[in-house]
Amino acid sequence: MKKYCFGIDVGGTTVKCGLFQTDGTVVEKWEIHTRTEENGRLILPDVAETINKKIEERKLKKEEIAGIGIGVPGPVNENGDVAVAVNLHWGFVAVAKEMEQLTGLKVKAGNDANVAALGELWKGGGVGYHNLILVTLGTGVGGGVIINDKIVAGPHGAAGEIGHAHVEDAITDPCNCGNCGCLEQVASATGIVRLAKEELAASDEASLLRKGPISAKSVFDALKAGDALAERIVERFGCYLGKALAVYACVTDPEVFVIGGGVSKAGPILVEYVQKYYKEYAFSTCKSAAFALATLGNDAGIYGAAKMML
Amino acid sequence: MKKYCFGIDVGGTTVKCGLFQTDGTVVEKWEIHTRTEENGRLILPDVAETINKKIEERKLKKEEIAGIGIGVPGPVNENGDVAVAVNLHWGFVAVAKEMEQLTGLKVKAGNDANVAALGELWKGGGVGYHNLILVTLGTGVGGGVIINDKIVAGPHGAAGEIGHAHVEDAITDPCNCGNCGCLEQVASATGIVRLAKEELAASDEASLLRKGPISAKSVFDALKAGDALAERIVERFGCYLGKALAVYACVTDPEVFVIGGGVSKAGPILVEYVQKYYKEYAFSTCKSAAFALATLGNDAGIYGAAKMML
């Protein structure tokens, strides 16, 4: 009988680590520094070392450990290989295989955003559901798709790359992905700033936002303070995102959309503006899909990584 | 060892039936009339009767038969229950359970469009792939999503309802689904006629289409004859559909889009206009997805139904 599982989330600056009981209870969480020098070749040995130390320190038996789940910021194939992970300075790395050799434990690897979606399904905003789309609103827009409790990775590792749906023909400056008019350009933290600048430039209307500095947070704060111009910005954000989610819904028909990332700290009011447009544009039987805020924050990755292994 | 499998596709006027070897070879195909009277309560007994007769006629042993796969025009849940199937005059019907009782064989039921997608993956335009989106361009726009060789049905049975993605704000007359601006309103046979009428009304430019009658076929025929106005219509159709497929791609990241339905009889030129826009709008790693025409025509349903059971 397996009692424990490790969940690891490798980021560009820190590696988040979790030791879990197989029921999802956290035994311990800690972090180590991500050493990206030398093309990131030290990262996996560092992770293996901290895991091996933890096993020793807690006197765990290897046969009690189900294995290690590991999320990495790049496309991961079914064998647990990463083609490239820019933030880790990695080219091709056989993550699962290498980690198995370094630890003697079973290892599964997945894309960090997809893994976070599984975490939110298991112990976060999506508890009780089996089909979910996670939308992460941060500097960019990321996502993860779960169908019947399983991550959808996609043969090119691009499933859940929902920030790069084309939503606006009028945008002519390129997104980080090279295309123009991506959801990320209007619904991320930077996208909301774009919309705010457009609205501020379009009129001389008084607004709390004219004092600056403008951020996604200041826009939502102004909305909460009753600022009409801020409301127009959030309406536009909600329309772009709600409409896009309605399109995604007719592909996989999720039970719940979980909204996370820094921008989601705005709280339930954000969901309200997105869900309003979602309901307007979604196919009839999809209109009832639930909306929830993510609850695990930066821990979604370690939860999901552990769950992926179980 | 199972040698045979039945694939059944229940439509509003006929039930298509197939007896397959488990390797996908067709032993025999036939049809029976769909009796929709009395709220369609005779349909499943009729199907069971024709199957039982076929077993007798061919002296098959029940232990050689893997079972019956059955596609129906309505949302189907995991138990093989249909909530409602308007064209069959059905309310709730426990299709799989009832057919099992009537035949003594194992039965799996699925939505007809999803089942057709599986058929095209198995023996049609999607052979060799494991992840596919089928787009059916007929009177409406239907679809089916396959991930890792499995149908994605969705908890509300709405996965693959890609004809009801919102793609055009300017359309104010409602789609059959009740929303406005659905892909179906611009990319189906009737949608292409809509675009043609708009283009014809917008100018006095000479066109083969001015002779009428206007249909999706006449538009593609005119395009092939070098008609400039017809080309503008097909460009608009290709842009709507290619852009929409690019959005679907960032959700499930398919390896191939298979395009079927009556409109797809226009042939490779149709794919060319869609793929051009798909490549323009798709996320970088999705741009390489393949495009293929469906090859099974009306038989996709019986193939997919049989495969679903195997």
Question: CA nearest B294: which of B168, B167, B121?
Answer: B121
Q: Which residues in chain B touch residue A156, judged by CB atoms under 8 angstroms apart?
A: 253, 285-286, 288
- Closest chain A residue by Cα to residue B142: A250
Q: How far, CA to CA in Å, does A177 sit from each of A144, A166, A183, A237, B138?
A: 18, 11, 11, 20, 34
Q: How high is the pLDDT of residue B300?
A: 97
Q: Which residues in chain B touch residue A236, judged by CB atoms under 8 angstroms apart?
A: none
Per residue in B231-254, pLDDT tens? 999 999 999 999 999 999 999 999
- Choose the closest CB to A158 out of B159, B163, B250: B250
Average pLDDT over residues A129-138: 97
Q: Give the pLDDT band of residue A255 (cuts 50, 70, 90).
A: very high
Q: Which helix (H) or strand (E) holds B52?
A: helix B43-57
> A interface mutation test: which of B162, B253, B277 has the most A CBs within 10 A?
B253
Q: How high is the pLDDT of residue B83?
A: 86
- CB spacing of B283 vs A250 below 8 angstroms: no
- Closest chain A residue by Cα to residue B288: A156
**Category of A36 on φ-ψ map: left (φ > 0), alpha (ψ -120 to 50) or beta:** alpha
- CB spacing of B179 vs A130 below 8 angstroms: no
Rg (CA), chain B: 20
Q: What is the ipTM of this complex?
A: 0.94
HSE (CB half, 13 Å, CA atoms) of B283?
Answer: 27
Q: How high is the pLDDT of residue A270?
A: 98
- CB spacing of B166 vs A247 below 8 angstroms: yes
Average pLDDT over residues A177-198: 97
Q: Which residues in chain B touch residue A160, judged by CB atoms under 8 angstroms apart?
A: 250-251
- CB spacing of B253 vs A162 below 8 angstroms: no
Distance from the Cα of A136 to chain B's closest Cα (Å) equals 14
Q: How far, CA to CA in Å, does B169 sit from each of A152, A184, A236, B83, B200?
A: 30, 20, 14, 31, 21
Per residue in B53-63, pLDDT tens? 999 999 999 99
Rounded Cα distance between B160 and B146, Å, is 9
Is the pLDDT reported for residue A17 higher than 90? yes
Q: Give the pLDDT band of residue A29 (cuts 50, 70, 90).
A: very high
Show the tokens assigned to B42. Answer: 């005779």
pTM higher than 0.90: yes
Q: Mean pLDDT over all residues of chain B? A: 96
Q: Give the pLDDT band of residue A115 (cuts 50, 70, 90).
A: very high
Is the pLDDT reported for residue B149 higher than 90? yes
Q: Which domains does chain A have, with CATH numbers?
A: 4-119+299-309 (3.30.420.40), 127-294 (3.30.420.40)
Q: How high is the pLDDT of residue A1?
A: 78
Q: Which residues in chain B touch residue A281, judged by CB atoms under 8 angstroms apart?
A: 166, 179
- CB spacing of A246 vs B165 below 8 angstroms: yes
Average pLDDT over residues A129-148: 96
Rounded Cα distance between A134 and A113, Å, is 8
Is the pLDDT reported for residue B212 higher than 90? no
Q: How high is the pLDDT of residue B78?
A: 83
Q: What percent of chain A has pLDDT over 70?
A: 100
B252 close to A154: Cβ distance less than 8 angstroms: yes
Rounded Cα distance between B276 and B273, Å, is 5
Distance from the Cα of B113 to chain A's closest Cα (Å) equals 13
Rounded Cα distance between A184 and A193, Å, is 12
